[in-house]
Amino acid sequence: MDLKKLTSRRSVFTIFVLALCALMPVIAPVIGEPYFLEVFMRIMIWAIAAISLNLILGYGGMVSFGHALFLGVGGYTVGIFAYYDIFNGFITWPLALLFSAIIGLIIGAICLRTRGLYFIMITLAFAQMIYYLGVSVEEYGSDDGLIIYGRSEFIFDFAGVSWELDIGNQMVFYYLVFVILLACLYFTHRLINSRFGMVIRGVKSNESRMQAIGFNTYRYKLACFVIAGVMCSLAGVLSANAEKFVSPDMMYWTKSGELIFMVVLGGMGSLFGPVAGALVFLMLSEILSNLWENWNLIFGPFLVLVVLYARYGIDGLLERSGPKAKESAND
């Protein structure tokens, strides 16, 4: 591998964060903060959701303000099946992804007819619609949410050999989340550099030009929207298993807003940015909320400063060491 690439600030940071995630089960007990394990699990799950949002927002230029609805679709699929005593992850997980693909296809097909501010508003409207659906269905706990009595089960029964991936075990589940995070990063890396990814980036850069050279941009955007939705619902599935609880709150518009902030904070359109964004966002809110009950008074202005002064987020700060920082983005 290219040594220069490996020792760049960005790579060192990436490796550091991933190593931190990988070693947290060891580190947390040593530093006497065992609850850090849960914190990092949550960070990784949100990171997956943020990676998926970055796909449409950072690479595709589609500012969805309703992305958290896919968290809800993933979470509630697991939750509702569990409600009927179906815990088989081989059934519920693929179905969660399938449902989110269908919902993404329908919502995307409508929303992508609009652009810019209208797109923001209509995605928000759809997310709120699904949110109120969750609030209104009493069978599944309405706004009190739904408690899940046990994590999904993965029992391999093959040629007489039976083996279980016991994600009820916190450590096993933690590393499952970690592996899925790595898989999502790798998948996104391949995707954004493929022909499809180049089209998506071209659309962000100049959509009318893409049409002029012969792309039906609508369909490519829709495909991207669906892929992002499915990936986000996977985060929802993981979240439902992590918390053993789902509620309409997980798809409320503030959650979509937080996802956008993680992406912006980490650096839009950078592969690892959303992970960094989720890490900093959740760690800061964790630390600040322990220090002071009115922690939002500090957190809010901090976010404003980031948007004003660090336009490319954490990724931009890491790159500044390079020969040439990204200059004037909009022309």
Partner 1 sequence: MTEVMVTVNGLSKSFGGITATDNVNLEILKGEIHAIIGPNGAGKTTLISQLTGGLKVDKGSIRFQNTDITNLPPYARSRLGLARSFQITSVFHDLSVLNNASLAVQAHIGHSYRFWKPAEKDPEITVPAMEALARVGLEARAHTLTRSLSHGERRQLEIAMALATKPKILFLDEPMAGMGVDESARMVEILRTLRGENTILLIEHDMDAVFALADRITVLVYGRVIASGSPEEIRADAEVRRAYLGDES
Binding segment (CB under 8 A) for partner 1, from list 116-124, 209-217, 228-236, 240-248: 209-217
Contacting residue, 196, 245, 253, 299, with partner 1 by CB under 8 A: 196
Considering the complex, state which of residue 157 and residue 331 has its C-beta at the smaller distance from partner 1: 331
2 binds partner 1 (CB under 8 A): no
Whole-angstrom Cα distance, residue 8 to residue 321?
A: 8
Considering the complex, state which of residue 210 and residue 278 has its C-beta at the smaller distance from partner 1: 210
Answer yes or no: are the C-beta atoms of 131 and 72 closer than 8 Å: yes
Helices 217-243 and 195-205 sit at what angle, rounded to 10 degrees? 110
* Shortest CB 197 distance to partner 1, Å: 7
Count the Cβ atoms, other than its own, within 10 Å of residue 164: 13
Considering the complex, state which of residue 258 and residue 319 has its C-beta at the smaller distance from partner 1: 319
140 binds partner 1 (CB under 8 A): no
Binding segment (CB under 8 A) for partner 1, from list 41-49, 103-111, 202-210, 258-266: 202-210
Sign of CA dihedral 328, 118, 54, 263: positive
Considering the complex, state which of residue 211 and residue 294 has its C-beta at the smaller distance from partner 1: 211
Tokens of 63: 């500012």
Contacting residue, 202, 222, 285, 311, with partner 1 by CB under 8 A: 202
* Shortest CB 198 distance to partner 1, Å: 5
Considering the complex, state which of residue 4 and residue 195 has its C-beta at the smaller distance from partner 1: 195
Whole-angstrom Cα distance, residue 56 to residue 269?
A: 9
Contacting residue, 13, 83, 215, 299, with partner 1 by CB under 8 A: 215
Considering the complex, state which of residue 30 and residue 212 has its C-beta at the smaller distance from partner 1: 212
Answer yes or no: are the C-beta atoms of 270 and 8 closer than 8 Å: no
Tokens of 273: 């940015």
Element (H, E) at 51: helix 36-54
Whole-angstrom Cα distance, residue 37 to residue 43?
A: 10
List the interface residues with partner 1, window 255-314 (CB under 8 A). Answer: none
Contacting residue, 115, 201, 244, 311, with partner 1 by CB under 8 A: 201
Q: Which residues pair with 156 in a beta bridge?
A: 163
Whole-angstrom Cα distance, residue 185 to residue 273?
A: 11
Contacting residue, 152, 217, 241, 247, with partner 1 by CB under 8 A: 217
Sign of CA dihedral 225, 64, 326, 216: positive
DSSP string, 80-140: HHHHTT--BHHHHHHHHHHHHHHHHHHHHHHHTTS-HHHHHHHHHHHHHHHHHHHHH-GGG
Contacting residue, 60, 197, 266, 277, with partner 1 by CB under 8 A: 197
Contacting residue, 88, 114, 169, 205, with partner 1 by CB under 8 A: 205
User: Rounded to the nearest 5°, which phi and psi values hold at 99?
Assistant: -60, -45
Count the Cβ atoms, other than its own, within 10 Å of residue 150: 12
Q: Is 156 helix (H, G, I), strand (E, B) or coil?
A: strand
Considering the complex, state which of residue 114 and residue 193 has its C-beta at the smaller distance from partner 1: 193
60 binds partner 1 (CB under 8 A): no
Contacting residue, 194, 294, 296, 321, with partner 1 by CB under 8 A: 194
* Shortest CB 329 distance to partner 1, Å: 8
199 binds partner 1 (CB under 8 A): yes
> Residue numbers of the site for partner 1 (CB under 8 A)?
190-191, 193-199, 201-202, 204-206, 208-217, 220, 223, 327-329, 331
